[in-house]
Amino acid sequence: MSFHLVVGHGPAGAATARLLAEQGHEVRVVTRTGAPAGPAVPGVEHLALDASDPVRLAKAARGAVALHGCAAPPLPRWTRLWPALADSLCAAAEESGAVLVMLGNLYGYGPVAAPMTEDLPLAATGPKGRVRAAAWERARALHEAGRIRAVEVRASDFFGPGVTDGGHLAARVMPGLLKGRSLGVVGAPDAVHSWTYLPDVARAMVELAGEERAWGRAWHVPTAPAVSMRAMVDRLVAEAGVGPVAVRRLPAAVLAVAGLFSPLLRELWEVRYQFDQPFVVDCSAYEAAFAVRATPLEEQVRATVAWWRERTQP
């Protein structure tokens, strides 16, 4: 099998590294600390390295067939730190010859009024969306110049086992939900929203790394049909067997005050439009070309409830 370098060991990086190891590949994960974020996975080596250092990252990537860019700076520092990280990923891909598989999100499109397709312009109006779009534009320009081979894998909000950050269907919601507590949520509870299942993100990252016809453009991770926050909570509650859970929208004034104490809530204000109106991913282009399909929603819900129950048991 082959050698893959995974940069970052958050939920997506960990899932991608684990899947690659399960397939028999040699896997090296780069993080600042060199320590795994969870239990050690056989076949996965961890290396302490600042990924924004292009010389050291290129050295770590030598011999790799693919460089999976799954790292991201803390949200409050995106605009300051993303450019150096993106440049380093591109430099390491050029030096090593590895395919650069960038994990992206949907911030770069900005506010939209219809289902999102990959050919939409990157028209973000906020600084985090613009800096994220610029990272891919840099990689694509180098790809088109023949200097690197690159592909971007775009996902909506993560959902599923291993997803503990983000707040929408993670640590801020799941522990209380499993106890039957009412929930206050950001945005309109009944606005339909696309939730991308974390194992499907890893499967897409791995598949597109080996598909030459995928390179040079962005693809949306296969994602189950969009459902609202209220509908997702109802499904999770039914699976958990905890009875009805009330879901209410947090008032803007409450969020403004909470933002004074929560950097995450403060930074998410830029992309609040994603939860104030329908936010739907069209992944038909991927499904027409490649093998990965979205995990059925019922299976996603079952696995997520089981994972959180095990995590929160005393």
pLDDT band at 234 (very low <50, low <70, confident <90, very high): very high
Mean pLDDT of the region 147-173: 90
Ranges of CATH 3.90.25 domains, the chain: 158-194+225-281+295-312
What is residue 169's predicted lDDT score, i.e. its pLDDT? 86
Considering the chain, what percentage of its residues have pLDDT values greater than 70? 94
At residue 104, φ and ψ (nearest 5 deg) are -120, 175
Instruction: Tell me the pLDDT tens digit for each residue of 120-141.
Output: 999 998 999 999 999 999 999 9
The CATH class for the domain spanning 3-156+198-220 reads alpha beta
Q: Among the ranges 37-41, 149-153, 271-275, which has the highest mean pLDDT value?
A: 149-153
Q: What is the CATH number of domain 158-194+225-281+295-312?
A: 3.90.25
- Among 153, 54, 144, CA closest to 96: 54
pLDDT band at 218 (very low <50, low <70, confident <90, very high): very high
CA angle 168, 173, 176 (to 5 degrees): 175
CB half-sphere exposure, 114, CA atoms < 13 A? 5
Mean pLDDT of the region 271-288: 94
Residue 139's alpha-carbon distances to 152, 161, 181, in angstroms, are 9, 30, 45
Ranges of CATH 3.40.50.720 domains, the chain: 3-156+198-220
User: Residue 6 and residue 4: Cα distance in Å, rounded?
Assistant: 6
User: Residue 212 and residue 81: Cα distance in Å, rounded?
Assistant: 30
User: Taking 70 as the threshold, does the pLDDT of residue 263 lie above it?
Assistant: no
pLDDT band at 197 (very low <50, low <70, confident <90, very high): very high
Q: Are 109 and 120 in contact (CB under 8 A)?
A: yes
Q: Are 100 and 61 in contact (CB under 8 A)?
A: no
Classify 106 as helix, strand or coil.
coil
The Cβ of residue 192 has, within 10 Å, a number of other Cβ atoms equal to 15
Please tell me which residue, 35 or 256, carries the higher pLDDT value.
35
Classify 261 as helix, strand or coil.
coil
Considering the chain, what percentage of its residues have pLDDT values greater than 90? 80
- Among 161, 108, 128, CA closest to 301: 161
112-118 LR contacts (CB < 8 Å, sep 24+): 112/279, 113/277, 114/280, 115/280, 115/281, 115/282, 116/220, 116/280, 116/281, 116/282, 117/220, 117/282, 117/284, 117/285, 118/154, 118/217, 118/218, 118/219, 118/220, 118/285
At residue 119, φ and ψ (nearest 5 deg) are -90, 5
